[in-house]
Amino acid sequence: MINLYSANIASISIHRVGNKSRNESIFLSQQPYHMDDELAPLLKEFFLKPFRDKEENYFQFSHDTDLEFHELFMMVSKMFEDPSTAHENSKHIATYLFDQSEHPHIKSGEVYVAYLENLQIDGEKVDGIGIFKSELKQDFLQFSEKDNQLDALLQQGVNLNKLDKGALIFNTKKEEGYKILSVDSNRYDTRYWLESFLGVDAFEDDNFYTKKYLKFCQDFAKDVVLPAEDKKEEVLFMNRAVNHFAKNDTFEESAFMNDVISNPDLIPEFNHYKSEKSPKYSIEDLTTFPIANTAVTAARKKIKNVINLDTNIQIKMDFINPESAERFVEKGWDEEKQMYYYLVYFNKEQKS
């Protein structure tokens, strides 16, 4: 869990990088940028708002051999060790980004490297480094008065309501490659930012494992429970799975299976599906882990709890009380109409 409201920008450097394949140049500022009191809160909101509104999916710097060979990791580490080197290292970071900007789709833009203080993550106050890039420019009108006439001048600038690319690097978990958040509003060059420049992998923490295991369960419900039983049981399986995660602090696989899998015939299917598919979800040897509530909440919002019928009727299940569907919804077959039906019991209709 992060809290960015008390963060402040201790220093910021602004550079411009072009596209090397188009023979565009790089411009490196010789001094840090000095913000005034009016611009400082606007830049802080511009940089940090996308991370407050985003699901916390953490990354970490990664290298096949050793992190000491990861160029960006080493630059960031030097800045954390000595914040007075922030501007000099910002030039190295901008140059490194420029070196990765060779694909013709990559747009030129301004690069902001900020040293941040008073970030809160997992209940700890830490420093951070923000690397942000603005690429897309928008038209706006500037007006001036001249000789009793109001003139309009068309100009281009950066929209402070939309950050194109950004990374927040928290000064924690250095040995694992730091904890990092990333945003990328432009989907035409996703490999360039995450892979070529940042060089990161998913940070395998409680949030990662909770999210991955719930995604595994969702696919098991779709691939195995639905064909073996029906849509109702698929929805109920995921209801039970999410509720099991929500009411427990620690995941233990045998307890999960006993609580969630109502049909004993599906237990060997579950074990087989996991042994076959687990590498896809990075849960090969995962049988117990602390549960991250934020990941459970996010999963609950994404998982569909609706049965769509080909007669243009929807039946919506209650995620909080799945036992209602088990007690009050029955499925059957009508011989006369040669159609399936759902029988729903109730006492009275609820007012909307």
pLDDT tens figures, 101-137 = 888 888 899 999 999 999 999 889 999 999 999 998 8
Which one of 205-219, 228-242, 309-323 scores highest in mean pLDDT? 205-219
Q: How far apart are CA 268 and CA 255, in angstroms?
A: 15
Assign 300 a pLDDT band (cuts: 50, 70, 90): confident
Total-model pTM: 0.77
Whether the Cβ atoms of residue 78 and residue 85 lie closer than 8 Å to each other: yes
Q: DSSP alpha helices (H): ranges in the chain?
A: 39-52, 71-81, 86-100, 190-191, 206-220, 226-228, 231-247, 253-260, 266-281, 293-302, 323-328
Q: How far apart are CA 289 and CA 310, in angstroms?
A: 41
- 3-state DSSP call for residue 110? strand
* Domain ranges, ordered by start, for the chain: 2-203, 207-344
pLDDT of residue 190: 64
Whether the Cβ atoms of residue 121 and residue 172 lie closer than 8 Å to each other: yes
Query: φ and ψ at 55, to 5 degrees?
Result: -60, 140
319, pLDDT greater than 60: no
